[in-house]
C-alpha cells in the first residue's frame, strides 16, 4: 500500500509525487503547483464522463446480450440487427465527407513506410533496443532465423557455417537487385564496391569481372563514410536507407566476393513504447518505473546495464549516423526509431492517485498527463520528433464519443502544460467492434490530431467474441481469424482511412506478427500488409523489423493507396457477419484440443504476469509454436473458452480438468527458469492458476471481455502474500 501526500486536493503516492517533482519537471518551465493544479482539474472535469462512457459500454452490451436469445445470430436477420444497433446508439450517424487536418507530423508518419516495432516500456533493455532498432543487420536477421532454411548443410551449427553464410550473401544480393538494380548485371556479379571522389562530390563504383557497371538509378547512392569497421556506402530506395559495409579484412567480408561484410537496413521507422497490453503495471511503483523509462527515452539519457554472454554491457541510445553526402557535404542520418507511447485505455483506475473522495483516478487520464509531461523534454531537445509532436497511441476505445473524450483530455493537458493546441497527436487503435463500425465518426472526432489508425486485430477478435457472446458458440480461434468479418474489418479500415485523407498525412497501420520465431512464414505473409495499402505494420522484435522492412522495398505503398482510393467500403453486413459454429461440426477430440490449447496459452502467459510481473511473453502453443502472448491474445483465448462454456460445448469440470492438466505442461516448459513458481503441485494455492482459470470461467461477465481486472487483482494478491 502506498504512502500518500496531498497535492492540490489529490492524494498522490509519495514515489509518484517524488518522480514528478524531482525528475519529470526538472528542466521544464512548468511548476509543480501548476502541474498538480492542472491534474486536479483534469480529474474533476473528466472522471464523470470517463465513468459515463464505461456505463454506456455495459448498457449497450446488455442490450445486445438480450437481443440475441430473441432473434438469433446477426447473420440470420442482418437488416433487423443493424436497425437495432442504430436504435440503441451502437451505430452512429456517419459524418459527411471530410479530410483530416493534423499538422506538424514527422516524415516517419506522413511519408516513409516501414515496420512499427512494439516494446514493453517497463523493460529498459528492450526499450533501448527498440529505440535503436531503426537500423538492423540484414546478414544477422537472415543468418540467425529461419528466413534461411536451417535444414541439412544450411543448419547454423556451433561455429560460423560458411555455406549458410553464402546463402545469406545470395539473399542479400537478391534484395540489392530488387531495391538497387544494376544495368545489365546483378549484385552477385559485383567484385568490388568503391567510392571515387572529385571536385563535384562522390560517385559509387561497381566493379564486375567484365568491367564497371552502374546502378539503374545512380541517385540511389546517397553518401559514404569510413570508419575502423570499413567503408560504409549509403543507398536509398522508397525513402528507406540501406548501407553496405565493405571490409576485406573482416571475418565475414573476406568470405564475400566483393568484401561486403554486412548489409544494414533501415528497419523500425517507429517504435511504440507500450504502457498497456505488454506490461504488468499494477501499483504506483510499477507506474513510476514505466514513466521513468519513458522520461529517459525522451531526455535521451536512458541506459541499462546487464549481463549478456557472460559480459557486462551498458546499452544507451545510438547517436546520429554521419556520412559525407554525394555532394561532398556532411550528412546526418537518423539512427533511432521515432518514439510513440501507448497509454492505457479508459477502463482501468489507478490508486497511484486518489481523488477528493479517495477514489482511484482514471489511469488513462494519469497516463495522458504524465507521459506528455515527460515528452516535453523532447520538445526542447528535438532528438525524437523534429516537428514538435508528441505521439500517444490510445487503445481500446469504443465509438466516437470515447475518441472525442480522449481528445478533450489531451486538449486540457496541453492547456495546463502550456503547450500549443494539438501538440499531442493521437493514434487511434481500431480494435473494438464499435470503433470499427463507426470508424469514420471516430476519425472525425480526432481529425485535428490523428496520426494513425491501426487494426489491432487481436483485441478486435476478443471483442468480436465478447460482443456476440449470446449469439451462439464461436469457431475455433484460428478459424475466426479467417472469416469474412475480419477481411471486411481490415478492408474498411484502409478504405475509410483513405477516404478521410490519411494518405500522405498519417499512417494506416496493421497488426502484430505474433509468431516471433517464425520469420520465414512472416516473410511470406506479412507482405500482405503493405500490399493492402498499410504504411506500417507491427512487429514483435528488431529482427522481425529488419526482415519486414524488405516488404516496403518490394511494395510502393503510396501507389497502392492511390489505387485503392476509389474502392468502395465493405458493407456493415460483412463486418457483422461472423457465423456461429455448428457444434456438430467438431469432434469431441477437436473440442478438447482447442480447449487445451487455449488453457495452455492462458496459463503460460498468466503465470509470468502474476508471479513475475512480466506483461508479454513467448509461450508455446499445443503444437509447440512459440507465440507472443499479451493481454489481447489472452483476451481471445479466455473469451473463446468462456463462450464454449456458455453454450455447453465444454463443461466447467472439463475446463478445470484441462487447466489442471495443462498446468503440468506449463510447469515443465518453465523448468529452466529459476524464478518460476510451479502451479501444478498445489493449484488451489497458486494465485496464478486461479487467475488463469477465472479468466475463462468468469469470462462472460468481464467488462468487454478484458483481462486487466482479474490480472491486476491477482498480481496485487500475489504481492501481498
Residues of this chain that interact with Mg ion (CB under 5 A) are 431, 456, 459, 632
Retrieve residue 22's grid coordinates: 524531482
The Cα 246–Cα 157 span in angstroms is 26
Q: In sequence order, what are the residues at sequence separation of 6 or more whose Cβ sits closer than 8 angstroms to the Cβ of residue 684?
A: 690
Of the candidate spans 13-21, 127-135, 601-609, 680-688, the one that interacts with ligand ACO by CB under 6 A turns out to be 127-135
**Min separation Cβ 526 and ligand ACO, Å:** 14
| Bridge partners, residue 339, by sequence | 271
483 interface partner picked from ligand O=CC(=O)O, ligand ACO, Mg ion, none, CB below 5 to 8 A per type: none
The Cα 432–Cα 474 span in angstroms is 17
141-146 CB contacts, 8 Å cutoff, 24+ apart: 141/519, 141/543, 141/546, 141/547, 142/167, 142/168, 142/171, 142/172, 142/547, 143/168, 144/543, 145/517, 145/519, 145/520, 145/543, 145/547, 146/517, 146/518, 146/519, 146/520
Whole-angstrom CA distances from 352 to 276, 361, 387, 516, 694 are 16, 8, 33, 34, 26
Strands 270-274 and 338-342, sheet pairing: parallel
Binding-site residue numbers for Mg(2+) are 431, 459
126 interface partner picked from Mg ion, ligand ACO, ligand O=CC(=O)O, none, CB below 5 to 8 A per type: ligand ACO
The Cα 241–Cα 392 span in angstroms is 26
**Min separation Cβ 246 and ligand ACO, Å:** 26
Q: Which of 345, 399, 511, 533 binds ligand O=CC(=O)O (CB under 6 A)?
A: 511
From residue 276 to residue 305, the character string flagging contacts with ligand O=CC(=O)O as x (rule: CB under 6 A) and all else as - is -x----------------------------
Please give the size of the binding site for ligand ACO, defined by CB under 6 A: 26
Smallest Cα–Cα separation from 279: which of 609, 19, 542? Answer: 609
**Min separation Cβ 702 and ligand ACO, Å:** 17
Binding-site residue numbers for acetyl-CoA are 118, 125-126, 278, 315, 540
**Please, which residue, 511 or 683, has the CB nearer to ligand O=CC(=O)O?**
511
**Please, which residue, 138 or 450, has the CB nearer to ligand O=CC(=O)O?**
450
Q: In sequence order, what are the residues at sequence separation of 6 or more whose Cβ sits closer than 8 angstroms to the Cβ of residue 143?
A: 156, 164, 165, 168
Do residues 484 and 570 touch, judged by C-beta distance below 8 A? no
**Please, which residue, 427 or 542, has the CB nearer to Mg ion?**
427
Q: Which of 108, 189, 243, 274 binds ligand ACO (CB under 6 A)?
A: 274
Do residues 456 and 431 touch, judged by C-beta distance below 8 A? yes
The interface with ligand ACO within residues 483-522 (CB under 6 A) comprises 512, 516
Residue nearest to Mg ion (CB): 459
Please give the size of the binding site for ligand O=CC(=O)O, defined by CB under 6 A: 11
**Min separation Cβ 542 and ligand ACO, Å:** 5
The Cα 11–Cα 13 span in angstroms is 7
**Min separation Cβ 454 and ligand O=CC(=O)O, Å:** 7
The interface with ligand ACO within residues 636-695 (CB under 6 A) comprises none
- Give the containing element (helix H, strand E) for 225: strand 221-227
Our CA angle for 2, 710, 595, nearest 5°, is 155
- The residue written with cell numbers 481529425 in the block is 447
**Please, which residue, 38 or 395, has the CB nearer to ligand O=CC(=O)O?**
395
From residue 559 to residue 578, the character string flagging contacts with ligand ACO as x (rule: CB under 6 A) and all else as - is --------------------
**Min separation Cβ 706 and Mg ion, Å:** 10
Do residues 257 and 592 touch, judged by C-beta distance below 8 A? no
Q: Which of 130, 242, 295, 344 binds ligand ACO (CB under 6 A)?
A: 130
**Min separation Cβ 429 and ligand O=CC(=O)O, Å:** 6
Binding-site residue numbers for glyoxylate are 342, 431, 456-459
The Cα 398–Cα 654 span in angstroms is 34
**Min separation Cβ 555 and ligand ACO, Å:** 22
**Min separation Cβ 133 and ligand ACO, Å:** 6
Our CA dihedral for 368, 374, 379, 383, rounded to 10 degrees, sits at -120
Site for ligand O=CC(=O)O contains 632 (CB under 6 A): yes
Binding-site residue numbers are 118, 125-126, 278, 315, 342, 431, 456-459, 540
Site for ligand O=CC(=O)O contains 323 (CB under 6 A): no
**Min separation Cβ 341 and ligand O=CC(=O)O, Å:** 14
Q: Which of 53, 119, 404, 502 binds ligand ACO (CB under 6 A)?
A: 119
- The residue written with cell numbers 556506402 in the block is 233
Smallest Cα–Cα separation from 149: which of 137, 135, 161? Answer: 161
Smallest Cα–Cα separation from 617: which of 655, 666, 662, 682? Answer: 666
The Cα 84–Cα 86 span in angstroms is 5
Site for ligand O=CC(=O)O contains 431 (CB under 6 A): yes
**Please, which residue, 65 or 304, has the CB nearer to ligand ACO?**
304
Retrieve residue 304's grid coordinates: 541499462
Do residues 223 and 324 touch, judged by C-beta distance below 8 A? yes
Site for ligand ACO contains 117 (CB under 6 A): yes
**Please, which residue, 25 or 281, has the CB nearer to ligand ACO?**
281
**Min separation Cβ 139 and ligand O=CC(=O)O, Å:** 31
Retrieve residue 359's grid coordinates: 477514489
Smallest Cα–Cα separation from 463: which of 280, 713, 703, 697? Answer: 703
Retrieve residue 265's grid coordinates: 537496413
From residue 436 to residue 475, the character string flagging contacts with ligand O=CC(=O)O as x (rule: CB under 6 A) and all else as - is --------------------xxxx----------------
**Please, which residue, 50 or 278, has the CB nearer to ligand ACO?**
278
Smallest Cα–Cα separation from 128: which of 374, 7, 299? Answer: 299
516 interface partner picked from ligand O=CC(=O)O, ligand ACO, Mg ion, none, CB below 5 to 8 A per type: ligand ACO
Do residues 641 and 629 touch, judged by C-beta distance below 8 A? no
- The residue written with cell numbers 549484385 in the block is 187
**Please, which residue, 419 or 429, has the CB nearer to ligand O=CC(=O)O?**
429
540 interface partner picked from ligand ACO, ligand O=CC(=O)O, Mg ion, none, CB below 5 to 8 A per type: ligand ACO
Smallest Cα–Cα separation from 109: which of 499, 525, 442, 426? Answer: 426
**Please, which residue, 278 or 350, has the CB nearer to ligand ACO?**
278
Whole-angstrom CA distances from 33 to 8, 16, 25, 211, 290 are 8, 15, 11, 72, 23
The Cα 631–Cα 636 span in angstroms is 9
278 interface partner picked from ligand ACO, Mg ion, ligand O=CC(=O)O, none, CB below 5 to 8 A per type: ligand ACO
Catalytic residues: 342, 630
Retrieve residue 494's grid coordinates: 484502409
Q: Which of 70, 308, 311, 721 binds ligand ACO (CB under 6 A)?
A: 308
457 interface partner picked from ligand ACO, ligand O=CC(=O)O, Mg ion, none, CB below 5 to 8 A per type: ligand O=CC(=O)O
**Please, which residue, 436 or 499, has the CB nearer to ligand O=CC(=O)O?**
436
| Bridge partners, residue 202, by sequence | 197
Whole-angstrom CA distances from 416 to 300, 348, 413 are 24, 23, 5
Binding site for ligand ACO (CB under 6 A): 117-120, 125-126, 129-130, 133, 274, 277-278, 308, 456, 458, 512, 516, 540-542, 616-618, 628, 630, 632
Binding site for ligand O=CC(=O)O (CB under 6 A): 277, 395, 429, 431, 456-459, 511-512, 632
Amino acid at each position: 500500500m502506498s504512502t500518500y501526500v496531498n497535492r492540490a486536493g489529490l492524494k498522490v503516492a509519495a514515489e509518484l509525487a517524488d518522480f514528478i517533482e524531482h525528475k519529470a519537471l526538472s528542466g521544464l518551465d512548468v511548476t509543480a503547483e501548476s502541474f498538480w493544479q492542472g491534474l486536479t482539474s483534469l480529474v474533476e472535469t473528466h472522471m464523470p464522463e470517463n465513468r459515463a462512457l464505461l456505463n454506456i459500454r455495459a448498457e449497450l452490451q446488455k442490450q445486445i446480450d438480450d437481443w440475441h436469445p430473441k432473434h438469433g445470430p446477426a447473420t440470420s436477420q442482418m437488416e433487423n440487427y443493424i436497425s437495432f444497433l442504430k436504435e440503441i446508439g451502437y451505430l452512429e450517424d456517419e459524418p459527411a465527407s471530410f479530410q483530416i487536418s493534423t499538422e506538424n507530423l514527422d516524415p516517419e508518419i506522413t511519408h516513409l513506410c516501414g515496420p512499427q516495432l512494439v516494446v514493453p516500456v517497463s523493460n529498459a533493455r528492450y526499450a533501448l533496443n527498440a529505440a535503436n532498432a531503426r537500423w538492423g543487420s540484414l546478414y544477422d536477421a537472415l543468418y540467425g532465423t529461419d528466413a534461411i532454411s536451417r535444414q541439412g548443410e544450411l543448419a547454423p551449427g556451433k561455429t560460423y557455417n560458411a555455406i549458410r553464410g553464402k546463402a545469406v550473401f545470395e539473399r542479400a544480393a537478391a534484395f540489392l537487385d530488387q531495391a538497387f538494380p544494376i544495368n545489365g548485371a546483378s549484385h552477385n556479379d559485383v567484385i568490388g564496391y568503391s567510392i571515387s571522389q572529385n571536385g563535384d562530390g562522390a560517385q559509387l563504383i561497381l566493379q564486375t569481372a567484365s568491367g564497371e557497371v552502374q546502378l539503374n538509378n545512380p541517385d540511389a547512392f546517397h553518401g559514404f563514410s569510413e570508419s575502423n569497421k570499413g567503408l560504409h556506402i549509403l543507398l536509398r530506395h522508397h525513402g528507406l536507407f540501406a548501407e553496405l559495409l565493405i571490409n576485406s579484412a573482416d571475418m565475414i567480408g573476406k568470405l564475400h566476393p566483393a568484401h561486403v561484410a554486412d548489409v544494414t537496413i533501415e528497419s523500425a521507422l517507429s517504435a511504440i513504447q507500450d504502457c498497456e497490453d505488454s506490461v504488468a503495471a499494477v501499483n504506483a511503483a510499477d507506474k513510476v518505473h514505466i514513466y521513468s523509462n519513458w522520461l529517459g527515452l525522451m531526455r535521451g539519457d536512458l541506459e541499462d546495464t546487464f549481463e549478456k554472454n557472460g559480459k557486462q554491457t551498458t546499452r544507451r541510445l545510438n547517436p546520429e549516423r554521419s556520412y559525407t553526402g554525394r555532394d561532398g557535404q556532411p550528412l546526418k542520418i537518423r539512427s533511432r526509431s521515432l518514439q510513440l507511447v501507448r497509454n492505457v485505455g479508459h477502463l482501468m483506475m489507478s490508486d497511484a492517485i486518489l481523488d477528493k473522495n479517495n477514489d482511484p483516478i482514471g489511469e488513462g487520464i494519469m497516463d495522458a498527463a504524465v507521459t506528455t509531461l515527460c515528452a516535453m523534454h523532447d520538445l526542447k531537445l528535438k532528438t525524437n520528433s523534429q516537428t514538435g509532436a508528441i505521439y500517444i497511441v490510445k487503445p481500446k476505445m469504443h465509438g466516437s464519443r470515447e475518441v472525442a473524450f480522449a481528445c478533450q483530455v489531451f486538449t486540457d493537458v496541453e492547456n495546463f502544460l502550456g503547450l500549443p493546441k494539438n501538440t499531442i497527436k493521437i493514434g487511434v487503435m481500431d480494435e473494438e467492434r464499435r470503433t470499427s463500425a463507426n470508424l469514420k465518426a471516430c476519425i472525425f472526432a480526432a481529425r485535428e490530431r490523428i496520426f494513425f489508425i491501426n487494426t489491432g486485430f487481436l483485441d478486435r477478435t476478443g471483442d468480436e467474441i465478447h460482443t456476440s457472446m449470446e449469439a451462439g458458440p464461436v469457431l475455433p480461434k484460428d478459424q475466426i481469424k479467417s472469416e469474412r468479418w475480419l477481411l471486411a474489418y481490415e478492408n474498411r479500415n484502409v478504405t475509410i482511412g483513405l477516404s478521410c485523407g490519411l494518405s500522405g498525412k498519417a499512417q494506416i497501420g496493421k497488426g502484430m506478427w505474433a509468431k516471433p520465431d517464425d520469420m520465414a512464414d512472416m516473410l511470406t505473409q506479412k507482405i500482405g500488409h503493405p500490399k493492402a495499402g498499410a504504411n506500417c505494420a507491427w512487429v514483435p522484435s528488431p529482427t522481425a523489423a529488419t526482415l519486414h522492412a524488405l516488404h516496403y522495398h518490394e511494395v510502393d505503398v503510396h501507389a497502392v493507396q492511390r489505387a485503392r482510393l476509389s474502392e468502395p467500403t465493405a458493407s456493415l453486413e460483412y463486418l457483422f457477419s461472423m457465423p456461429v459454429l455448428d457444434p456438430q461440426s467438431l469432434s469431441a477430440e477437436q473440442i478438447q484440443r482447442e480447449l487445451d490449447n487455449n488453457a495452455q496459452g492462458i496459463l503460460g502467459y498468466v503465470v509470468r504476469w502474476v508471479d513475475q510481473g512480466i506483461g508479454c511473453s513467448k509461450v508455446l502453443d499445443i503444437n509447440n509454436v512459440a507465440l507472443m502472448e499479451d493481454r489481447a491474445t489472452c483476451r481471445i483465448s479466455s473469451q473463446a473458452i468462456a463462450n464454449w462454456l456458455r453454450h455447453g460445448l465444454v463443461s466447467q469440470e472439463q475446463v478445470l480438468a484441462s487447466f489442471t492438466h495443462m498446468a503440468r505442461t506449463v510447469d515443465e516448459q518453465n523448468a529452466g527458469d529459476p524464478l518460476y513458481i510451479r502451479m501444478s503441485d498445489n493449484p488451489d494455492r497458486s494465485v496464478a492458476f486461479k487467475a488463469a482459470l477465472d479468466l475463462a470461467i468468469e469470462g462472460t461477465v468481464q467488462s468487454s471481455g478484458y483481462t486487466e481486472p482479474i490480472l491486476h487483482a491477482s498480481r496485487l494478491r500475489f504481492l501481498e502474500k
